[in-house]
Amino acid sequence: MAGQIDAATLKGWIREGRELAILDAREEGEFGRSHLFWAVPCPLSKMEFRARALLPRRDVQVVCTDGGEGYAARLAAYLEQIGCSRVAVLAGGTPAWVAAGFTAFSGVNVPSKAFGEWVEHHYHTPSVDPAELKAMMDAGTDMVVLDSRPIDEFRRMSIPTGVNVPGGELVYRIGELVSRPETTVVVNCAGRTRSILGAESLRSAGLPNKVVALRNGTMGWELAGFSCDRGRTDRYPEGTPATLAEAFARADRFARKHGVKVATRAELAGFQADATRTTYVLDVRDPAEFAAGHLVGSRSAPGGQLVQATDQWVAVRGARIVLIDDTGVRARMTGGWLRQLGGWDVYVLSDGLEGRLEEGVWAPDCPEAAAVKVPHVSPADLAALAGEGAVQVVDLARSIDFRDGHVPGALWGIRSRLDRLAGRLTGDRQVVVAAPEEAQARLAAQELLGFAKAPVKILAGGTKAWQAAGFPVTADRRDPPDADCVDFYLRPYDRNEGVEAAMHEYLSWEIDLVHEVAKDGDAPFGAWV
């Protein structure tokens, strides 16, 4: 059974700089209210999927925390069950941390967002406000607007004339997007972090053009009274750029400056055999490239998002990170930023895509789910049951995705808390579980079998398969209501009320992060290189 440690002990461990993972057992929305700076979300509802990926080495020191609810002890017990040998629980969780005089942070992806603010201060990254950009557009200025977010975010809202070039692709693709040194390059995201890091990537790589970040991104644009486009798909040209040689030279200089090293697959095998160090193997290419063929055992982590949300992939401070791509450009740029952000020991794998590869999207190792045997129903079978009024669907999608579309009449739920739906599941209708991943559906079905009064089955392929089969979905922005979206930290534009105030609050929070980090004292950005 995991022992407890106090806040002062954990603070000392953080400052020692040894390998250490701090995992918070709450749901993301709960986590976002108040948490430790270096804490990484590992909610009970997803611990079987996240824990193994976040902790490649089972004997690393792990500290579990929460908001004082007792979730941390449950996570610690699970970690010990899967073989983690050095697990402790922070007594009293985040409230005890604050009571001891230490700093807690709100929001998600805080280390990455705070790093973005540090980058702007440290590198003096120039920016333009929305009114300036609009005036440039109206004046016909020779410029391009590059949106550094993933394509799904770009489709949701974008700056007029913008082109989608996720942050990890910018230095790699810029030569095909901008051919004249006189062209001004404007980089934007939804708020600040990816705008700053994207613009500074191009500047630090030596692009001769004037490069600026759009101050406060699409949120700032709308707050200034301008309209965003919706549904656009303008994107960078696919394939290897003709300007690869120049891009590689720029990226290589940046990586070398910040201490990124190069390794081979043979050396990687040695890293992974080293029982004293944690090694993450991450492929920073576009997810579609990863799915077409990747190194066995690697995980997809697109470069721009990896820097923007490092805690989605990396939990262990002091770990070794090995990055993979096809040409070395994207891995080198990503590695240079990771070195400055967290001081990890970062390598680029020189031959990561040579030899045997595997295809498909990454799926977490989850033997608990594989052991659950539950019957499936096809979308057509589900439609027939629904037509007879003989089924109740329980959907485990993220709350924000459930709002966008779900099987008509479905109930939204969070795994590990499905018993809260017990009163709504009647014995005269069988229960069908829809989930983004098969493993998630299996574990939820097992949980439901503990109290559901009717048979439980799984919708094969989940809601995506239902839609692909041509069946309708229901969208409702208020189901679940904002207050119930504890699984997801709502962004300002996800809210149903007070959107403008939330935007102002969010942008002020980002700007102030650099001061809060200084007060906390545990993130000496740039000091490791």
Residues in the chain: 529
Do residues 314 and 344 lie in contact, with contact meaning Cβ atoms separated by under 8 Å?
A: yes
> Could you tell me which of 233, 125, 243, 239 has the C-alpha nearest to residue 179?
243
Q: Encoding tokens for residue 240?
A: 């290897």
> What is the per-residue pLDDT for 378?
98
Give pLDDT tens digits for 403-431: 999 999 999 999 989 999 999 998 889 99
Answer yes or no: is pLDDT of 524 > 90.
no
CATH class of 254-354: alpha beta
The C-alpha atoms of residue 146 and residue 162 are separated, in whole angstroms, by: 5
Between the alpha carbon of residue 329 and those of residues 164, 254, 270, 406, the distances in Å are 18, 10, 24, 40
Do residues 472 and 408 lie in contact, with contact meaning Cβ atoms separated by under 8 Å?
A: yes
Q: Encoding tokens for residue 346?
A: 């970062």
> What is the per-residue pLDDT for 2?
86
Answer yes or no: is pLDDT of 1 > 90.
no
- Strand pairing class (20-24; 316-317): antiparallel
Give pLDDT tens digits for 276-320: 999 999 999 999 999 999 999 999 999 999 999 999 999 999 999
> Is 368-482 assigned to CATH 3.40.250.10?
yes
Q: Encoding tokens for residue 425?
A: 């599941």
Q: Encoding tokens for residue 197?
A: 């890091």
Give pLDDT tens digits for 425-454: 988 899 999 999 999 999 999 999 999 989
pLDDT-based confidence at residue 514 (cuts at 50, 70, 90): confident
Which residue is it, tokens 């406060």?
216
> What is the per-residue pLDDT for 411?
97
Give pLDDT tens digits for 157-199: 999 999 999 999 999 999 999 999 999 999 999 999 999 999 9
pLDDT-based confidence at residue 349 (cuts at 50, 70, 90): very high
Q: What percent of the chain has pLDDT over 90?
A: 95
Q: Encoding tokens for residue 401?
A: 């995705």
Do residues 340 and 525 lie in contact, with contact meaning Cβ atoms separated by under 8 Å?
A: yes
Residue 512 neighbours by CB distance under 10 Å: 12
3-state DSSP call for residue 462? Answer: helix
Q: Encoding tokens for residue 224?
A: 């200034």
Q: Sign of dihedral through CA atoms 138, 144, 148, 154?
A: positive
Q: 502: which residues sit within 8 A by CB, 6+ positions away?
A: 492, 495
DSSP code per residue over 262-295: EE-HHHHHHHHH-TTS-EEEEE-S-HHHHHH-EE
DSSP code per residue over 73-124: HHHHHHHHHTT--SEEEETTHHHHHHHTT---B-SSSHHHHHHHHHHHHHHT
> What is the per-residue pLDDT for 527?
84
> What is the per-residue pLDDT for 523?
87
- What superfamily does domain 114-237 belong to in CATH? Rhodanese-like domain (3.40.250.10)
Boundaries of every domain in the chain: 3-107, 114-237, 254-354, 368-482
pLDDT-based confidence at residue 529 (cuts at 50, 70, 90): confident
Give pLDDT tens digits for 351-372: 999 989 999 999 889 999 999 9
Give domain 3-107's CATH architecture.
3-Layer(aba) Sandwich (3.40)
- What are φ and ψ of residue 277, in 5° steps? -130, 150
Q: Please determine whether the domains at 114-237 and 368-482 fall in the same fold group of CATH.
A: yes
Burial classification of residue 494, based on how many CB atoms lie within 10 Å of its CB (0-12 exposed, 13-18 middle, 19 or more buried)? middle
> What is the per-residue pLDDT for 460?
97
Which residue is it, tokens 């014995």?
427
The C-alpha atoms of residue 216 and residue 194 are separated, in whole angstroms, by: 10
- What are φ and ψ of residue 408, in 5° steps? -50, 130
The rounded mean pLDDT for the chain is 96
The C-alpha atoms of residue 337 and residue 339 are separated, in whole angstroms, by: 5
